[in-house]
């Protein structure tokens, strides 16, 4: 398989995994998710970025290393999170489905961003966006994969394709998207 080994693609492209795992007992209060939805991505150097989906794309900030280490101690599955291709997806709102946490391929997270961008209306998003977010999580639970809002036409992820498809706001991503020879 093309790019199966970590060294294939010279670090520019990585194979995005397809597995999804629902986690139980993740103390999401440690992560302080202010908007009810966030995904957390480990970087190559070990630090973790929190991404908050919005109708304009994502906003990100770096998670304090001590908080992430404490979370890993409580949830050992997070230590195996693959840098830049897997994420911890956290939902802290949503009625009866409240409190969902998943380890998912990174493209699922950006697919959720696309769902929000495509369905948002007004100041609070409107009922359609929250209905679609609920459907997204229901499909994760059922083991299905969203296909109606798939802006990324490939399972190979690079920072520049994700930034352009999802409107990610990130100095690092934008730099890597425009710098020749960067990963």
Q: What is the mean pLDDT of residues 47-69?
A: 95
Residue 172 falls within a domain, yes or no?
no
179 domain-assigned: no
Per-residue pLDDT averaged across 42-62, rounded?
95
Task: Flag whether 38 is in a domain.
Answer: yes
Of 171 and 159, the structure prediction assigns the larger pLDDT to 159
* Residue 178 included in any domain: no
Average pLDDT, the chain: 78
Q: Residues 59, 52: contact at Cβ < 8 Å? A: yes
What residue numbers bound the domain in which 42 lies?
Answer: 8-165
Residue 183 domain-assigned (yes or no): no
CA-angle at 91, arms to 163 and 35, nearest 5°: 70
In angstroms, the CA 149 to CA 15 distance is 21
Whether 121 is in a domain gets the answer: yes
Checking if the pLDDT of 146 tops 80, the result is: no
Residue 79 falls within a domain, yes or no? Answer: yes
Paired residues of 6 in beta bridges: none
What pTM did the predictor assign? 0.74
- Cβ pair 99, 29 in contact under 8 A: no
pLDDT in tens, 67-123: 999 999 999 999 999 999 999 999 987 655 567 999 999 999 999 999 999 999 999
Domain count, the chain: 1
Q: From 105, 98, 113, select the one nearest 26 (Cα to Cα).
A: 98
Question: Residue 39 falls within a domain, yes or no?
Answer: yes
């Amino acid at each position: 398989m093309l790019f199966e080994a970590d060294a294939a693609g010279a670090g520019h492209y990585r194979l995005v995994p397809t597995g999804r795992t629902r986690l139980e007992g993740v103390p999401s209060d440690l992560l302080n998710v202010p908007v009810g939805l966030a995904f957390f991505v480990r970087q190559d150097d070990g630090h973790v970025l929190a991404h908050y989906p919005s109708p304009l794309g994502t906003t990100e900030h770096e998670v304090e290393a001590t908080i992430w280490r404490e979370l890993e101690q409580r949830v050992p599955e997070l230590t195996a999170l693959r840098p830049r291709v897997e994420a911890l997806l956290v939902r802290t709102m949503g009625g009866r489905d409240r409190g969902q946490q998943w380890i998912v391929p990174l493209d699922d997270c950006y697919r959720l961003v696309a769902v929000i961008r495509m369905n948002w209306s007004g100041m609070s998003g409107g009922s359609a966006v929250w209905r679609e977010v609920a459907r997204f999580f229901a499909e994760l639970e059922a083991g299905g994969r969203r296909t109606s809002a798939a802006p990324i036409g490939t399972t190979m992820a690079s920072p520049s394709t994700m930034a352009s498809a999802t409107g990610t706001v990130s100095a690092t991503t934008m730099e890597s998207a425009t710098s020749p020879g960067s990963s």
